[in-house]
Amino acid sequence: MRKLGTASKIYMILIFVILYAPIAILIFYSFNESNSTSVFTGFSLRWYGELFRDEATIKALENTVVLALLSSLISTALGTIAATGIYYSKTRWYKSSLLTVNNIPLMNPDIVTGISMMLLFVFVGTMLKISGVLGFMTMLIAHITFELPYVILNILPRFKSMDKFLVEAACDLGCTPKKAFFKVTLPYIRTEIIAAFIMAFTLSLDDFVISYFVSGPDFQTLPIRIYSMTKKRVTPDMYALSALIFVTVFVLLILTNIAQDSALREKMKKRINKRRVAS
Partner 1 sequence: MNNKTYNGISAPYALWCVVFILAPLAIVAYYALTDSTGAFTLDNITGLSMYADTIARSVYFGIIATAICLIIAYPLAYFISKTKASKQKVLLMLVMVPMWMNFLLRTYSIMVLIEDSGIINNFLLSLGLSPIHMINTPGAVIFGMVYDYLPFMVIPLYTAMTKLDVKLIEAARDLGATSFQTLRDVIIPLTNSGIVSGITMVFVPSVSTFYISQKLGGGKYTLIGDVIEMQFQTAYNYNLGASISLLLMVFILVCLFVMNKFGDIDEGGSIV
Out of 220, 222, 237, 240, the only residue in the binding site for partner 1 (CB under 8 A) is 222
Q: By the 8 A CB rule, do 199 and 151 touch?
A: yes
Q: Over the range 212-223, which residues count as b (16 or more CB within 10 Å of their CB) and which as e? A: bbbbeeebbbbb
Which of positions 101-130 make contact with partner 1 (CB under 8 A)? 101-102, 104-113, 115-120, 122-123
Judged by CB under 8 A, which of 54, 166, 206, 235 binds partner 1?
206
3-state helix, strand, coil in the chain (%, to 5): 80, 0, 20
Cβ at position 94, least distance to partner 1 in Å: 6
Binding of partner 1 at residue 16 (CB under 8 A)?
Answer: yes
28 vs 52 by CB, closer to partner 1? 28
40's CB contacts (< 8 A; 6+ apart) are 28, 29, 32
Tell me the per-residue interface mask from 45 to 84 with partner 1, x by CB under 8 A, - otherwise.
---------------------------------xx-xx-x
Q: Does 219 bind partner 1 (CB under 8 A)?
A: no
Torsion of Cα atoms, 125 then 126 then 129 then 131, to 10°: 60
> What is the smallest separation between the CB atom of 277 and partner 1, expressed in angstroms?
29
71, 154, 211, 215: residue in contact with partner 1 (rule CB under 8 A): 154
Choice between 73 and 171, CB closer to partner 1: 171
Based on C-alpha coordinates, what's the Rg of the chain?
24
Burial track 67-95 (b if 16+ CB lie within 10 A, e otherwise): bbebbbebbbeebbebbbebbeeeeeeee
Residue 184 as a binder of partner 1 (CB under 8 A): the answer is: no
Stretch of 13-21, 158-166, 186-194, 264-272 lying at the interface with partner 1 (CB under 8 A): 13-21
